[in-house]
A and B are shown apart, each in its own frame.
Chain A
Amino acid sequence: MKKPRVAFFDFASCEGCQLQIVNLEEDLLQVLEAVDVVSFREAMKEHSDDYDIAFVEGSITRRSDEPRLKEIRKNAKVLVSLGSCATLGGINYMKNFQDLDYVRKFVYGEKAFAYETYPTRPLKAVVPVDFEIHGCPINRKEFAMVVKALLLGKKPEIPNYPVCVECKMAGNICVFELGMTCMGPVIRAGCGACCVTEGAVCWGCRGLVDDPNADSHREILAKHGLSVQDILNRFRLYTGFSEVAK
């Protein structure tokens, strides 16, 4: 059987999701035996436009980036968004809630006009996307699972229930009980509630579940002492796109 040809690309991001693929360590060597990586700028000099599966990290933040993404879409049989920036706009989406001319001037002063930007968007706002691997960064085991499913011609199974389910299974004490607040009740699971398990809270990086009870969650956050601005900030750390797309 001919090995599937795989390519990696990135737009505005920290490239931390592609790093998770390198972090597969010995398992990566096994993946390399099952597929032909034909383009991965961060790791190799070779490049080919002939590929079956494209994994794309990053969000689209400039009009001039759109043609490159459309070209990737045209070349790939399957396009997979890799990580929060690609699936949600990620951290980069926060700037959309400020005046963009002001944002540019704040960072680049009088030369602001030379720095092209437009409202951040996830890949699916520009081209059709076949599958999404969520997270900031992605979980490398989930990535391996998706690759395996694609190689077997199956649909990868991405959970559509909240992080709370996995958090309970991990045996964590609910952070609300500990006097903190968390996005877990409305955020898509699949991470094993890793942040809560490590002493933090769920920040929301995997995006909202398909039918979140967001209003009720806002009420709960308010009941726990968060101001309207704080609640907005929580929802706009990662899930601002869902707010606007509604």
Chain B
Amino acid sequence: MSNEKIIKVNHVTRVEGHGNIHITIKDGRVEQCQWQVVEAPRFFEAMLRGRRWNEVAHITSRICGICSIGHTLTSLKATEAAMGITISEQTEKVRKILLHAENMQSHILHVGYLVLPDLLGVPSVVPLASTHREQVLVVVRLHRLANEMSDLLGGRTTHPQRPVVGGFAKWPTVEELETLRQRLEESIPDGEALAYLVKDLVGKFPQFSRETEYIALTHPDEYALYDGDIGSTDGGAWPVDQYKEVTNEYLVPQSTAKFSKHKRDSYMVGALARLNLNYDHLSPKAKEVAEAFELRPINYNSFMNNTAQIVEVVHNMEDSIRLIDALLKNGIKDEKPSVTIKAGRATGSAEVPRGILFHEYEYNKDGECVWANCVIPTNQNHSNIQKDLEALVPQITDRRQEEIELTAEMLVRAYDPCISCSTHCIFL
């Protein structure tokens, strides 16, 4: 009798959006192994056409609830580049802290609420609220801090209102920034506590390794998040307006999202990619945490994206303190954005929680958007998820069906995929 294991996870849980894993193993041989994206497409690029320059970021923010700040800032950068609008140092610093806030919020949500249950062998965070109350409260406190930062600087935790083309519609006060600084300082032990909690459980992640290419923004002076050139662990650097050289999207039959490849048949973006490319620029405590996880570049274990996210949380906190200090030194000026509407076409890019993001827009002389294209981090990861599954599953065919299923799910979850983002931002 043939021995068959058929795994069909329709709508993987504890991820954003709808994706399926289908695996068939017959007599120890993998016959099918597929990552499918089945999210409903939303056609954002088409909806942007005919919209004004000051509505575009409001609309693209809705691509993703979890990374709405990243989409907003990337969108503003693209519009500003298209119209030749420059921003002040104060704007740049506050935007960088805002990006840190979202990165923290998203990573804590992912590691604390979505991944931790796998490591503790429960189906969700709900039972942990009673069995691991102290640890859950650390996660909740960090998550709340990140949201308070977004509220304070962005005017709302999700779909921010303060960042606008050319700057900010409203600024935080010196007192608010001082309070935030103190809150951050007091919360670093929580960040470290989360790190050491996960460190004790890190053995639960499979020892998996597959050489691939990592793509992220790089910058000579800092751990690139808000600005930089496109970098690759295979070497090479490209200015962001040449993103299509790298992203090369293509359609596959099993998915409503496009897949991407560069020089190899896939590449990875996100926290692990950033850490692999920008390790030297991590803040001091973040480096200590990376060292504790024995996370050094180049790490080829996709499951370590989870731990790279924790390293980044500590970096986000420390670097935010540094930026607040720099802001406080000069005081907060009530700057008003200055915008002159011009025709133009340009690309904006930033590192958002799940990886490098590109928005490209073309405006006519009235500031009306006539063409748009967005390339989303999770789109760029779909191929790498597929290739990882193809490498991982044959190594574990002898395990029990439930164990294979859980390991495959954990792999997908490690990418922190944002699937609803990835299905409507695709180019011509």
Contact = CB atoms under 8 A, between A and B. Distances in A.
B165 to A, nearest CB: 12
Interface stretch (A102-110, A121-129, A143-151, A158-166): A102-110
B47 A95 contact: yes
Contacts of A11: 40
A177 interface: no
A109 B428 contact: yes
Contacts of A173: none
A170 interface: no
A19 interface: yes
A109 B45 CA distance: 12
Contact of A42 (B16, B162, B424): B16
A102 B428 CA distance: 12
Contacts of A168: none
Interface string A80-91: 000000000011
A92 B426 contact: no
A40 B125 CA distance: 11
Given A16-B62, A46-B123, A194-B156, 14 more contacts: A14-B66, A19-B65, A23-B158, A26-B144, A43-B14, A61-B40, A61-B42, A91-B62, A102-B46, A103-B47, A107-B45, A199-B161, A199-B169, A233-B55
A158 to B, nearest CB: 20
B109 interface: yes
B40, B49, B126, most chain A CB atoms within 10 A = B40
Nearest to B168: A199
Contacts of A197: 155
B364 interface: no
Given A61-B40, A233-B55, A237-B55, A137 B159 contact: yes
Given A45-B13, A137-B159, A203-B58, A107 B43 contact: yes
B95 interface: no
B43 A233 contact: no
Interface string B136-180: 110010011001000000011111011010001110000000000
Contact of A195 (B41, B137, B161): B161
Interface of B: 11, 13-17, 39-43, 45-47, 49-52, 55, 58-59, 62-66, 68, 109, 113-114, 117, 123-126, 129, 136-137, 140, 143-144, 147, 155-159, 161-162, 164, 168-170, 251, 253, 256, 420-421, 424, 426-428
B125 A43 contact: yes
Contact of B14 (A16, A45, A98, A117): A45
B211 to A, nearest CB: 31
Contact of A15 (B65, B126, B156): B65
A194 B162 CA distance: 11
B40 A198 contact: no
Contacts, number: 174
A137 B151 CA distance: 13
Contact of A41 (B13, B64, B161, B170): B13
A17 interface: yes
Interface range for A: 35 or more
Given A136-B62, A200-B169, A14 B68 contact: yes
Contacts of B427: 107
Instruction: Pick the 8 closest A-B CB pairs, nearest first.
Output: A16-B65, A199-B169, A198-B155, A44-B124, A199-B170, A45-B123, A198-B161, A14-B65
Contacts of B162: 198-200
Contacts of A15: 16-17, 64-66, 420
Contacts of B136: 29
A45 B9 CA distance: 11
Contacts of A45: 13-14, 117, 123-124
A107 B159 contact: no
Residue of B14, B17, B46, B136 most packed against chain A (CB within 10 A): B46
B43 A90 contact: no
Contact of A13 (B14, B43, B156, B420): B420
B62 A14 contact: yes
A69 interface: no
A117 B123 CA distance: 33
A16 B158 contact: yes
Contacts of B140: 25-26, 29
Contacts of A108: 41, 251, 426
Contacts of B15: 42
B45 A106 contact: yes
A246 interface: no
Contact of B426 (A42, A62, A107, A229): A107
> Residue among B43, B45, B140, B164 with the most chain A CB within 10 A?
B43
A108 to B, nearest CB: 7
27 contacts: A11-B40, A12-B42, A13-B65, A15-B16, A16-B62, A19-B158, A23-B147, A25-B143, A26-B140, A43-B13, A43-B14, A43-B113, A44-B125, A45-B117, A62-B40, A95-B43, A103-B46, A106-B43, A106-B45, A106-B49, A107-B45, A107-B428, A137-B65, A195-B155, A198-B162, A237-B55, A237-B59
A16 B43 contact: no
B422 to A, nearest CB: 12
Contacts of A104: 43
Interface in A196-233: 197-200, 203, 229-230, 233
A194 B161 contact: yes
A104 B63 CA distance: 17
Interface string A24-59: 011001001000010011111111000000000000
A17 B170 CA distance: 24
Nearest to A16: B65
